[in-house]
C-alpha cells in the first residue's frame, strides 16, 4: 500500500500528470533543482507535438514541399524522370524519427531522476494521485499537463470522420479527401495532402479561412491554396456523413452530396481534462474543460498547477514549454516567474507558409491609429522555377509612436523569418529601427527593411 501524506511528508515534491512538452520541461527543471519528481503518461512520452502533432506534421510538410522542388527544378536546368511518392517508405522514416525523439525524452527524464509511470494518473485529492499499478502517491505539488485532443462535433455519421491523430497512421494515402474546418490545422493538412498527390476539398462554415489571423494573410493563403488545386468551399456547413460502399457520402448545406475516401475533421481541439478528478478537488473547469489558472499557472487549489493546452491559453508547444519552465522557476527555484503571452511569434505550416507576430491590422486599428506597410512579390527562385505564387510581407505600425505592432509574412521560410523578427517586435522596435537596418541582398527578407511607402492608414 502506498504511503499517504501526513503533515509535510509526501512521496514526491512534484507529480506531473502528462508527458508532453510542458510537463516534461517542468519535471526536468524541478528534478534538476533537487525536487523529488514523479511523472505519469498513459500514452507515449513527447505528447501531441512529438507523437501526433508538430514534428510528424512538419516532416509531412517537408515531404509535400518536394513536389514543388521537382516541378521547379527544370527551370534551373535539372532534368530527371517522373517523380513519385511512396507513402509507406515515408511513414517508416517518420515513425523511426518519432521513436528516436521519444527515447531522448525518456533518457533525459531518467538522467534528471524523474520517476516515470507509463499509465494514467487521476487526482485522489489536492495532494495525491491514483495509479493503477501502485495505488495512491502523494505530492506537495501536482502539475496538470495533459494537453488537448481533437474535437468532432455531434452530427449524423460523426463516427465515420477521422481527426489529425489518424492521418499519421494511414496505411495508404486516400485519393479524395474532405477536410472540414478552416483553422490552421485544417489548412496545414489541406496543403500537405494536396502536395502528396491527394485531391483535397476544404469545407469551412465561415466567410474566410484562418479566423483570427490578419485579413490580408487569410485571403492570400486562401487564394494560394486554390491556385494549388485545393477546392476551398466557404460558407459550407457539413450536415452528415454516410457510408456508401468503400466511399463516404458527405452532405453539406443546401443538400449537396459528394463522395470521398477520407473525411478529416479539424474543427478545433479541447483540453484533455475529462475524468482527471479536477472537479472533485474543487476546481471548476472552464469552457471546453480548461483548467483556470493565474499568471503563475496556479489553479484555485493552491497545490495544483496546470500548463499547456490543458489551460487553453495559447495552444502552442513553445508556449507550453515556457509555461512549464516558469512553473519550475516559481515553485522550485525561488524565482517567481509569470508567463508573458504577449507578442508570441508563431509559424503556420500551410503551403505557402505563414509567419506572424504581434497584432493583426484589424486588432491594431481597433486599438488606435496605425500605418500599414505591405508588399507582394514573386521571389527570385519562383520566377526561375515558373511559379506564380507570391510572397506577402506586412508591417503594422502605431502611427504616433512608430512602434511596430505586428509583422505578417506568407511565403517560403516565413517561420524561420518570424523567429528573428519576433525578437525585434518584443523589444519594441520602431519602423525607423527596421529602416536603419541594412538589407541582406538578394533575399526575400530584405523587403522587411526596405518598405518605405505606406499602403494604408487608420
The CATH number of 12-149+270-332, from 1.20.950.20, 3.50.50.60, 1.10.10.10, 3.40.50.300, is 3.50.50.60
For 150, the enclosing helix (H) or strand (E) is strand 148-150
Residue 325 CA neighbour count, 13 Å, CB half: 9
**Residue 238 CB neighbours (<10 A):** 24
CB-CB contact of 364 with 215 (8 Å): no
Give residue-wise pLDDT tens across range 438-458.
Answer: 999 999 999 999 999 999 888
Its CATH architecture, for the domain 346-457, is: 2-Layer Sandwich (3.30)
Domain 158-266 belongs to what topology? FAD/NAD(P)-binding domain (3.50.50)
Sign of CA dihedral 344, 32, 133, 44: positive
Grid cell of 151 as nine digits: 474535437
pLDDT of residue 1: 29
pLDDT in tens, the chain (458 residues): 234 444 468 999 999 999 999 999 999 999 999 999 999 999 999 999 999 999 999 999 999 999 999 999 999 999 988 999 999 999 999 999 999 999 999 999 999 999 999 999 999 999 999 999 999 999 999 999 999 999 999 999 999 999 999 999 999 999 999 999 999 999 999 999 999 999 999 999 999 999 999 999 999 999 999 999 999 999 999 999 999 999 999 999 888 999 999 999 999 999 999 999 999 999 999 999 999 999 999 999 999 999 999 999 999 999 999 999 999 999 999 999 999 999 999 999 999 999 999 999 999 999 999 999 999 999 999 999 999 999 999 999 999 999 999 999 999 999 999 999 999 999 999 999 999 999 999 999 999 999 999 998 88
Any residues with CB less than 8 A from the CB of 45 and at least 6 apart, and which?
A: 19, 24, 102, 105, 106, 109, 116
The label of the residue with cell 452528415 reads 240
Residue 67: exposure state from Cβ atoms within 10 A (0-12, 13-18, ≥19)? middle
> Is-same-fold flag (12-149+270-332; 158-266)?
yes
- What is the predicted pLDDT for the residue at 4? 46
Task: Read off the C-alpha cell for 343.
Answer: 507578442
Q: What is the pLDDT of residues 61-82, one digit of tens each?
A: 999 999 999 999 999 999 988 9
SS3 436: coil
Question: Which pLDDT belongs to residue 80?
Answer: 84
d(CA 165, CA 174): 15
Q: Copy the grid coordinates of residue 21.
A: 512538452
Q: Measure Cα distances from 130 to 26, 137, 230, 276, 391 in Å.
A: 20, 6, 48, 10, 53
Instruction: Verify whether residue 341 is a known catalytic residue.
Output: no
pLDDT at position 2 is 37
Could you give the CA distance from residue 224 to residue 354 in angstroms, rounded to a whole number? 12
Please report the pLDDT score of residue 8 as a whole number.
62
pTM recorded for the entire structure: 0.95
SS3 of 49, please? helix
pLDDT of amino acid 6? 47
Q: What is the C-alpha to C-alpha distance for residues 10 and 3, in angstroms, rounded to an integer? A: 8
* Residue extents of the structural domains in the chain: 12-149+270-332, 158-266, 346-457
424 half-sphere exposure, CB direction, 13 A CA radius: 23
Amino acid at each position: 500500500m502506498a504511503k499517504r501524506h501526513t503533515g509535510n511528508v509526501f512521496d514526491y515534491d512534484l507529480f506531473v500528470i502528462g508527458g508532453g512538452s510542458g510537463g516534461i520541461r517542468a519535471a526536468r527543471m524541478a528534478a534538476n533543482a533537487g525536487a523529488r519528481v514523479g511523472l505519469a503518461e498513459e500514452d507515449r512520452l513527447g505528447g501531441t507535438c512529438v507523437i501526433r502533432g508538430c514534428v510528424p506534421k512538419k516532416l509531412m510538410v517537408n515531404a509535400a514541399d518536394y513536389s514543388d522542388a521537382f516541378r521547379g527544378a527544370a527551370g534551373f536546368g535539372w532534368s530527371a524522370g517522373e517523380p513519385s511518392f511512396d507513402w509507406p517508405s515515408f511513414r517508416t522514416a517518420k515513425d523511426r524519427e518519432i521513436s528516436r525523439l521519444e527515447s531522448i525524452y525518456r533518457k533525459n527524464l531518467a538522467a534528471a531522476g524523474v520517476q516515470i509511470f507509463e499509465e494514467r494518473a487521476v487526482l485522489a485529492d489536492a495532494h495525491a494521485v491514483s495509479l493503477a499499478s501502485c495505488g495512491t502517491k502523494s505530492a506537495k505539488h501536482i502539475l496538470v499537463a495533459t494537453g488537448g485532443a481533437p474535437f468532432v462535433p455531434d452530427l449524423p455519421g460523426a463516427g465515420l470522420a477521422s481527426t489529425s491523430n489518424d492521418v499519421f497512421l494511414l496505411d495508404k494515402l486516400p485519393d479524395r479527401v474532405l477536410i472540414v474546418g478552416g483553422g490552421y490545422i485544417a489548412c496545414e493538412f489541406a496543403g500537405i495532402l494536396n502536395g502528396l498527390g491527394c485531391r483535397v476539398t476544404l469545407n469551412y462554415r465561415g466567410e474566410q479561412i484562418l479566423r483570427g489571423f490578419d485579413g490580408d494573410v487569410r485571403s492570400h493563403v486562401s487564394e494560394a491554396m486554390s491556385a494549388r488545386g485545393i477546392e476551398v468551399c466557404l460558407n459550407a456547413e457539413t450536415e452528415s456523413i454516410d457510408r456508401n460502399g468503400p466511399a463516404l457520402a458527405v452532405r453539406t448545406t443546401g443538400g449537396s452530396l459528394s463522395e470521398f475516401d477520407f473525411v478529416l475533421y479539424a474543427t478545433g481541439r479541447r483540453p484533455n481534462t475529462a475524468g482527471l478528478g479536477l472537479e472533485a478537488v474543487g476546481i471548476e473547469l472552464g469552457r471546453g474543460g480548461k483548467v483556470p489558472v493565474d499568471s503563475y499557472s496556479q489553479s484555485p487549489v493552491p497545490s495544483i498547477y496546470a500548463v499547456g493546452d490543458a489551460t487553453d491559453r495559447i495552444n502552442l508547444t513553445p508556449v507550453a514549454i515556457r509555461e512549464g519552465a516558469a512553473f519550475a522557476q516559481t515553485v522550485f527555484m525561488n524565482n517567481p516567474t509569470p508567463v508573458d503571452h504577449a507578442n508570441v511569434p508563431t509559424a503556420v505550416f500551410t503551403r505557402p507558409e505563414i509567419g506572424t507576430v504581434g497584432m493583426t491590422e484589424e486588432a491594431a486599428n481597433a486599438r488606435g491609429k496605425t500605418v500599414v506597410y505591405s508588399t507582394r512579390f514573386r521571389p527570385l527562385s519562383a520566377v526561375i522555377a515558373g511559379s506564380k505564387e507570391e510572397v506577402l510581407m506586412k508591417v503594422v505600425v502605431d502611427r504616433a509612436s512608430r512602434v511596430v505592432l505586428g509583422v505578417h509574412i506568407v511565403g517560403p521560410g516565413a517561420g524561420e523569418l518570424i523567429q528573428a523578427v519576433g525578437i525585434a517586435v518584443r523589444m519594441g522596435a520602431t519602423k525607423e529601427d527596421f529602416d536603419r537596418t541594412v538589407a541582406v541582398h538578394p533575399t526575400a527578407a530584405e523587403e522587411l527593411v526596405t518598405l518605405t511607402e505606406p499602403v494604408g492608414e487608420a
